[in-house]
């Protein structure tokens, strides 16, 4: 089935959770350093700016790192995690809203060889190539230089396409790496992935409510 570049209006929804789920099955594409890489988005996480303590834009506070989150929906938001790993996000909503979807994993469909070379991965470990947000960004050649680009721009090196295919089953659970410091926001089931897809990152299931120490720190 032919793929179609997602138009700018698609990203202007006020519902970042629906956007995170609807991105599953879409195709992420990069054309960087002369190499085309494509993959089906199989895992995402939603971050809702103003009231989400797990989000960089919590309280609508603008910083140098998160400034792109306040741009128009469809903007490419790339930040660096732990000073090393680039993390690829899709800004959602109108300017000033600061919601975003983190792309956590993709299933490669074109350019796997160059992805593995970028990640220094051999064939035995190929499932690790684009599993996890830092891994997939590196595999697709994406870094902080692309922060602020537009996914919907026909000339953009990073784009998202629809192919008309919807996943048959979607898992909804807790986001990865949430800290006790964000309290009840850690319990929000805002991680989504295609059930049964082998390219989904680990851990597959997280249940913070079963962690007594975590619950005590959160005063829950």
Poorest-confidence range of 8-17, 61-70, 206-215? 206-215
Mean per-residue pLDDT, 84-107? 96
pLDDT in tens, 145-161: 999 999 999 999 999 99
What CATH number should be reported for the domain holding residue 59?
3.10.300.10
Question: Total structural domains in the chain?
Answer: 1
How high is the pLDDT of residue 37? Answer: 98
How high is the pLDDT of residue 191? Answer: 97
Higher pLDDT residue, 187 or 136? 136
How high is the pLDDT of residue 178? Answer: 84
- Give phi and psi for 44, each to the nearest 5: -140, 165
Structure tokens at 80: 């660096």
Judge whether residue 216 has pLDDT over 50: no
Judge whether residue 86 has pLDDT over 50: yes
Range of the domain at 40: 4-217
Q: How confident is the model at residue 132 (pLDDT cuts 50, 70, 90)?
A: very high
Judge whether residue 93 has pLDDT over 60: yes
pLDDT in tens, 17-42: 999 999 999 999 999 999 999 999 99
């Amino acid at each position: 089935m032919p793929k179609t570049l997602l138009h700018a209006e698609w990203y202007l929804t006020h519902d970042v959770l629906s956007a995170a789920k609807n991105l599953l099955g879409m195709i992420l594409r990069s054309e960087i350093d002369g190499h085309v890489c494509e993959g089906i988005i199989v895992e995402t996480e939603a971050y809702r700016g103003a009231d989400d303590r797990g989000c960089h834009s919590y309280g609508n506070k603008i910083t140098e790192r998160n400034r792109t989150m306040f741009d128009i929906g469809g903007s490419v938001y790339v930040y660096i995690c732990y000073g090393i790993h680039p993390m690829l996000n899709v800004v959602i909503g109108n300017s000033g809203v600061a919601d975003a979807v983190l792309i956590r994993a993709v299933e490669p469909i074109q350019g796997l060889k160059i992805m593995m070379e970028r990640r220094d991965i051999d064939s035995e470990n190929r499932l690790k190539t684009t599993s996890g947000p830092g891994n997939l960004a590196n595999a697709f050649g994406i870094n902080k230089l692309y922060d602020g680009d537009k996914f919907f721009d026909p000339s953009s090196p990073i784009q998202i396409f629809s192919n008309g295919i919807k996943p048959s089953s979607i898992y909804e659970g807790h986001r990865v790496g949430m800290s006790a410091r964000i309290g009840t926001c850690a319990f929000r089931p805002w991680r989504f992935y295609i059930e049964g897809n082998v390219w989904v990152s680990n851990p597959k299931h997280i249940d913070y409510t079963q962690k007594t120490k975590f619950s005590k720190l959160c005063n829950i």
